[in-house]
Structure 1
Amino acid sequence: MTELDLTDVSRWYGNVVAVNDVNMHIGPGITGLLGPNGAGKSTLLSMMAGLLPPSAGTVTIDGRPTRANIAIYRQIGLVPVQESLYDFLTGEQFVRLNAELQKVPQPGLAAKRAIGLVEMSDAADRKISTYSKGMKQRIKVASALTHDPAVLLLDEPFNGMDPIQRRHMMALLTQFAEQGRTIVFSSHILEEVEQIARQVEVVVAGRHAASGDFAAIRRLMTDRPNQYLVRSSDDRRLAALLLAEPCVRGARLRGDTALEVEADDFGGFAQVIPKVARDNAIRVFEVTPTDESLESVFSYLVNS
């Protein structure tokens, strides 16, 4: 089990602070690294990979510094966001090059295996200059997999991929996580992060804004009301009854089909609504949180 730790990590360029006093502990499984453009995600991934030294603090894998540590580099697979590749090489030549740099036994076989994992075997003998953006993304992932790394760092890995390619890549990352690998990836495709990474690390303006399960983070934000969509046999009457409850901040009808409710206390509301409905012979068909999606949590954290 490989663990990645950032302790009091900062990185600045002259007077510009890119990352400011970040602390993270990342274990096996899939962790989503989230933040708006310019938040410092790519800088953090570069420091995790040991390519960029922190200006202050430490980055370690299993207690060993990542920077200038060849043994650690052999445990890391990095997929950078930059699209610059050796376009004059074929896909197989590019992937084999990384296998050779990592001194993998039988680099040719390792390259073919990695290319097969990302479903690029049919295009392996084509020059990278002929690849689409999504194909370039996949061949970069293959290159990062040749040495079977325990830690996989991916910066916007889904860029340019079509829906089928994205589903395959998500399944591949999930498979790696089940094998016990430590995976960190940044993405703006929030609904896909939500599908494969319950653990999130949110960075805003270079600072660590939140860490943990995104739904749990949302519930800790007590200054924001929890929002629900409720469907019942009598939405109008249920709205009036709920407004009398201390934990309910607001309720409004959504046409004739549903009720939108805002509640201050997640646990309190979960107890109140079944009791109110039962005591007043109202059938509740649906109670769905509408602001526990990753997109909602991310929006709250960025704009708060």
Structure 2
Amino acid sequence: MSVLELHQVSRWYGNVVAVNGISMTVGPGVTGLLGPNGAGKSTVIHMMGGFLAPSSGGVTLDGARIWKNPDVYRHIGLVPERESAYDFLTGWQFTLAMAKLHKLPQPGAAAQRALALVEMEPAKDRVIGTYSKGMKQRIKMASALVHDPPVLLLDEPFNGMDPRQRLQLMDLIRRMAAEGRTVLFSSHILEEVERLASHIEVMVAGRHAASGDFRAIRRLMTDRPHVFIVRSADDRRLASAIIADGSARSVQLSEGGLRVEAVDFRRFTWLLPQLAHKENVRLWEVSPADESLESVFSYLVAS
């Protein structure tokens, strides 16, 4: 049972702070590292993998420092977001090379097993340069699994995969976790994390925004104030009804419709159709105006 720990870790490049004072513990099972693009997820994963030095703080695996400790590489499998395979090699040659770099006693058998795990055996003799984006993701996964590591670090692993490939990889990650491995994967897509991880770590702008059970954090995201754009047959009448009910923090009337900041998301979505019906006002459009991940995570940071 392997445990990764970050202790007040920061990483900066010149005057640019990429990660600021992050502390987290990642244990067996599937942990989702969630955040918008540019949040610092890749920087954290590369420090956990031992490929990037923290500017301050420390990163450990089972109590052992990771940076400048080659022994930990035998225990970690890393799938980076960027392409890291050689296009002129075949899938078999690339995976076999990784097995030999790890000095495995039977590199051929290890490469064959890893390719089978990611279902890349039929394409193993093709040159990687001819692979689709999804296939390249899977061959990177094979190279990360070739030495059978107890820890997997996956940076945006589902990028470029078609629906079938995504389902296959999700099943593989679940199996790895069920075997007792420690799996951390990053994503900026909420649904990916929801389907795989029971525990999540949320990052925003290089900061640690939230940590814990996915359902609890999802509830925080849902229960935050939401902004809706509402268009109807009589915006003024509907605005008056919303204000009188007290279910909104603010209601603004403009030519484009109503801009409503709802205090209670669930109550507002349940109440609005009833108010419209009661006032005999036809609803034309109800759309969220603040559903970007940046707005959701910024709310978590401020909470």
Band of TM-score, shorter chain: 0.7 to 0.9
Q: Which residue of 1 aligns with 2:10?
A: 10
Q: Which residue of 1 aligns with 2:253?
A: none
Q: Which residue of 2 aligns with 1:191?
A: 191
Taking only the aligned residue pairs, the percentage that are identical comes to: 63
Q: Distance in 2 between matches of 1:215 and 1:40?
A: 23
Q: Which residue of 2 aligns with 1:300?
A: 296
Indicate conservation of the 8 Å contact 1:17/1:206, yes or no: yes
Deviations 1:96-119 (A, max 9, x none): 111111111200010010000100
Q: Which residue of 2 aligns with 1:112?
A: 112
Q: Which moved more, 1:81-90 or 1:137-146?
A: 81-90
Q: Which moved more, 1:3-12 or 1:216-225?
A: 216-225
Q: Distance in 1 between matches of 2:202 and 2:87?
A: 34
Q: Distance in 2 between matches of 1:51 and 1:89?
A: 23
Corresponding letter in the other structure for 1:196: L
Q: Secondary structure at the match of 2:174?
A: helix
Q: Which residue of 2 aligns with 1:91?
A: 91
Indicate conservation of the 8 Å contact 1:99/1:110, yes or no: yes
1:174 aligns with 2:170: no
Q: Secondary structure at the match of 1:147?
A: coil
The alignment's TM-score, normalised by the length of structure 1, stands at 0.76
Q: Which residue of 1 aligns with 2:21?
A: 21
Corresponding letter in the other structure for 1:118: V
Measure how far apart 1:126 and its partner are.
0.8
Compared CA separation, residues 224 and 116, structure 1 to 2 (3 A): same
Compared CA separation, residues 2 and 53, structure 1 to 2 (3 A): same
Q: Which moved more, 1:188-197 or 1:169-178?
A: 188-197
Indicate conservation of the 8 Å contact 2:36/2:294, yes or no: no
Measure how far apart 1:166 and its partner are.
0.3
Indicate conservation of the 8 Å contact 1:128/1:136, yes or no: yes
Q: Secondary structure at the match of 1:157?
A: coil
Deviations 1:197-218 (A, max 9, x none): 1211111110001111232124
Q: Distance in 1 between matches of 2:293 and 2:31?
A: 16
Q: Secondary structure at the match of 2:98?
A: helix
Q: Distance in 1 between matches of 2:15 and 2:293?
A: 31
Alignment of 1:158-173 (within 5 A): 158-173=158-173
Indicate conservation of the 8 Å contact 2:35/2:293, yes or no: no
Measure how far apart 1:249 and its partner are.
6.3
Q: Secondary structure at the match of 1:71?
A: helix
Deviations 1:237-295 (A, max 9, x none): xxx9xx98x9x769xxxxxxxxxxx77599xx9xxx9xxxxxxxxxxxxxxxxx9xxx8
Indicate conservation of the 8 Å contact 1:202/1:208, yes or no: yes
Q: Which residue of 1 aligns with 2:274?
A: none
Indicate conservation of the 8 Å contact 2:157/2:185, yes or no: yes
Q: Which residue of 2 aligns with 1:214?
A: 214
Corresponding letter in the other structure for 2:37: N
Deviations 1:13-51 (A, max 9, x none): 111100000000111111111111111111000000011
Q: Distance in 2 between matches of 1:214 and 1:122?
A: 37
Q: Which residue of 1 aligns with 2:238?
A: none
Indicate conservation of the 8 Å contact 2:19/2:206, yes or no: yes
Indicate conservation of the 8 Å contact 2:158/2:166, yes or no: yes
Corresponding letter in the other structure for 1:164: R
The alignment's TM-score, normalised by the length of structure 2, stands at 0.76
Corresponding letter in the other structure for 2:142: A
Measure how far apart 1:301 and its partner are.
1.9
Corresponding letter in the other structure for 2:156: E
Unaligned stretches of 5+ in structure 1? Answer: 228-239, 251-261, 274-290
Alignment of 1:1-304 (within 5 A): 1-219=1-219, 224=224, 299-303=295-299
Q: How many residues align?
A: 256
- Two-structure CA RMSD over aligned residues (Å): 3.0
